[in-house]
Structure 1
Amino acid sequence: MITPAPSPAKTVAIKPVTVPTGDRAVPLQVKVTAPAEGRGLPVIVFSHGNAWSMDGYEPLVDRWAAAGFVVVQPTHLDSRRNAIGFDDPRFGAIWRVRIDDLHAVLDHLDAVLAEAGDLIDRADRTGVALVGHSWGAQTVGTLLGARVFDAQGTAGEDFSHGGAKAGVLIAATGTGDSLTPFAVGHLPFMRPDYSTMTTPALVIAGDKDQSKMSTRGPDWFLDAFDLSPAPKRLLVVPGGEHTLGGIAGEAVSETTDTDADRVALVADAVTAYLLDALGRDPDAWSRFRADTEAVEKASFQHKD
């Protein structure tokens, strides 16, 4: 069980921590955010959306750390700080590098925590979850068992990782049968096969999220739930667009639906789900759902 930190909880952040990798264009670095006190802390490895970095998503990360999680944030190769655009010859393989990044973090988690002060002694490495937003959600999905269809509709390699006990997909890419011409030309890997995503997961989507990558409407972001096997949970956030109120940061340019309450809803949903899924508090999700539905903030579905 988690030993609660004092209230209000103090958090600490350590960066950069370099993770060993193979042949990567630039070193893989992560930021680690955690409660200043407490032991037996579960771990979230978070995969950012396109162009972001380990320095984004503080509205989520700080709230998770205050709730008792250690959060590890890698900077993927597509981060804007690496200046690898769509026309760069390396871009076509970045989706694979992202997957390798998460594998590297999970495989070297002890070393990462050891470099981040006393977290090697305070974190529970048996309670690890993956969380991702947008492109990061598709990346996380592959480690939970999803595969990627090629142009002929054949499912590709299995990238699943047993180190992840549960996951959360926030605004995850839908199936690839409705990609726009731009997406087909630049992001052909956006063709997930969720039928093999067997790891327990929560899917979060906004009911106003209209992607420029798909000709479908907001229902595109429900595919990760609709097409994957149980056990799964779904949270649909009313009024939520792609950044769901501003989860990547306060007043960032990508946010078109600024709403601090919406951000808190997403953060607290992840906390409640993972406390349940990782066996820390088996009633956390049911309490969160009941409290949320009582004020009509969101809608829920589940598959067991």
Structure 2
Amino acid sequence: MRPRRTPALLTAALLSVGLVGCSGEPAPAGRDARATPPATVKPTTPAPRVPEGHAPTGSFAVGVRELKLNRDGDRPLPVTVWYPARGAAGGDPERSAPAAAGRFPVVMFSHGLGGRPDDYASLLNRWATAGFVVAAPAFPHTRRGADGNVLDVLNQPADVSYALTRVLALDGAAGDPLRGRLATDRVAAAGHSAGGVTTIGLFTASRDDRLDAGVVFAGTGLGVGTAFAGAAAPQLFVHGEADEVVDYAAGKAVYDAVPWPKAMLSLTKGDHGRALLTDGAALRVVADTTVEFLRWTLYGDAAAKTRLPTEARRNNLATLDDRL
């Protein structure tokens, strides 16, 4: 994509402090950024394009591997892949474990500024044990230990699309452990903070038509816009109302612009990253809500859609604006 200079600079100004926000440090006290009351009008846009079906009812063991990718020869993209594996569920992910039988939807996950895929292992393992293959690139300039060039966030949607192509190709690769195990026509994108910007970009300026759904954690449209394009792809936004890095109102503004079925999970005391990284109770709410959303959008499981509001409101840690 070709970024315009002004939005890029605005993105830099907003995300340049993202190291603290993505690290899971407690949030400072801030003003109440509570949104307006949820709308009750249901959208008239088309339903998800995934045919009706059923998600797996049990849990899987989890395998993990890494792909060494490089886009255009100068953008190294090591990709960590978590996937359903054979064996008993509940243990730690096993490196290069044999894949479980079945075909599993794919979720591409983008980390935040100064982060790495492993920072989100608790959440991503939860998705894999529920029956999803999760592929998470470590971006060349915004991962921990890189140069921290925040402007490079605007190149990351193309990185994700490239990595997605390579991941989906494993389904037909002779001898690959994931051969015949990927539901290549059922794909979502998700991301946190700068990775949330990346994810929004995949549905706006850099629309990837292979994507059926999106999950945006603490994201903003600065630099990538809010001109959502292409076929209807339901979106779930997750944002802390006390977010000290990406203001809650900024995330809500992008959510409001989504023309498709959508929902927004608002963590009433949530900061920028702790609910994904260190806060056990909030992480459970986020994990279970996102699993039900992915079961509905990628498996076509209508029962998961009906369970989603209950998971979102458990323990009164969050509210849900449900326009699905």
TM-score, structure 2 as length reference: 0.71
CA distance in 2, matches of 1:70, 1:115: 19
Relative to structure 1, the CA distance from residue 132 to residue 292 in structure 2 (aligned partners, 3 Å threshold; closer, same or farther) is closer
Q: CA deviation at 1:195?
A: 3.6
Aligned to 1:154: none
Of the three residues 59, 63, 86, the one matched with 1:12 is: 63
Root mean square deviation, CA, Å:
2.5
CA distance in 2, matches of 1:208, 1:134: 14
**Structure number with higher relative contact order (C-alpha < 8 Å, ≥ 6 residues apart):** 2
Corresponding letter in the other structure for 1:47: S
> What are the ranges of 5 or more consecutive residues in structure 1 without an aligned counterpart?
146-157, 175-189, 249-257
Q: CA deviation at 1:123?
A: 1.6
Count of aligned pairs between the two proteins: 255
Q: CA deviation at 1:81?
A: 4.6
1:194 aligns with 2:194: no
Superposed, which structure 2 residues align to 1:285-304 within 5 Å? 285-293=305-313, 295-303=315-323
1:144 aligns with 2:144: no
Superposed, which structure 2 residues align to 1:109-120 within 5 Å? 109-112=167-170, 114=173, 117-120=176-179
Identity %: 28
Q: Is the 8 A contact 2:197 2:224 kept in 1?
A: yes
Of the three residues 136, 145, 159, the one matched with 1:101 is: 159
Aligned to 1:282: 302
Three-state SS of the structure 1 residue aligned to 2:219 is coil
Q: CA deviation at 1:82?
A: 4.8
Q: Is the 8 A contact 1:234 1:302 kept in 2?
A: yes
Residues 29-62 of structure 1 show CA distances to partners (whole Å, capped at 9, x for unaligned) of 1011111023121111101101212332001111
Relative to structure 1, the CA distance from residue 137 to residue 97 in structure 2 (aligned partners, 3 Å threshold; closer, same or farther) is same
CA distance in 2, matches of 1:263, 1:126: 29
1:21 aligns with 2:71: yes
Q: CA deviation at 1:116?
A: 9.3
Relative to structure 1, the CA distance from residue 143 to residue 22 in structure 2 (aligned partners, 3 Å threshold; closer, same or farther) is same
CA distance in 1, matches of 2:160, 2:268: 31
Superposed, which structure 2 residues align to 1:240-255 within 5 Å? 240-245=270-275, 247-248=276-277
Aligned to 1:164: 211
TM-score, structure 1 as length reference: 0.75
Corresponding letter in the other structure for 2:137: P
Q: Is the 8 A contact 2:236 2:264 kept in 1?
A: yes
CA distance in 2, matches of 1:218, 1:262: 17
Q: CA deviation at 1:18?
A: 2.1
CA distance in 1, matches of 2:233, 2:181: 26
Question: Runs of 4 or more off by more than 3 Å in structure 1?
Answer: 1-7, 79-82, 111-117, 291-295
Relative to structure 1, the CA distance from residue 56 to residue 294 in structure 2 (aligned partners, 3 Å threshold; closer, same or farther) is closer
Q: CA deviation at 1:10?
A: 1.1
Corresponding letter in the other structure for 1:22: D
Aligned to 1:186: none
Corresponding letter in the other structure for 2:158: D
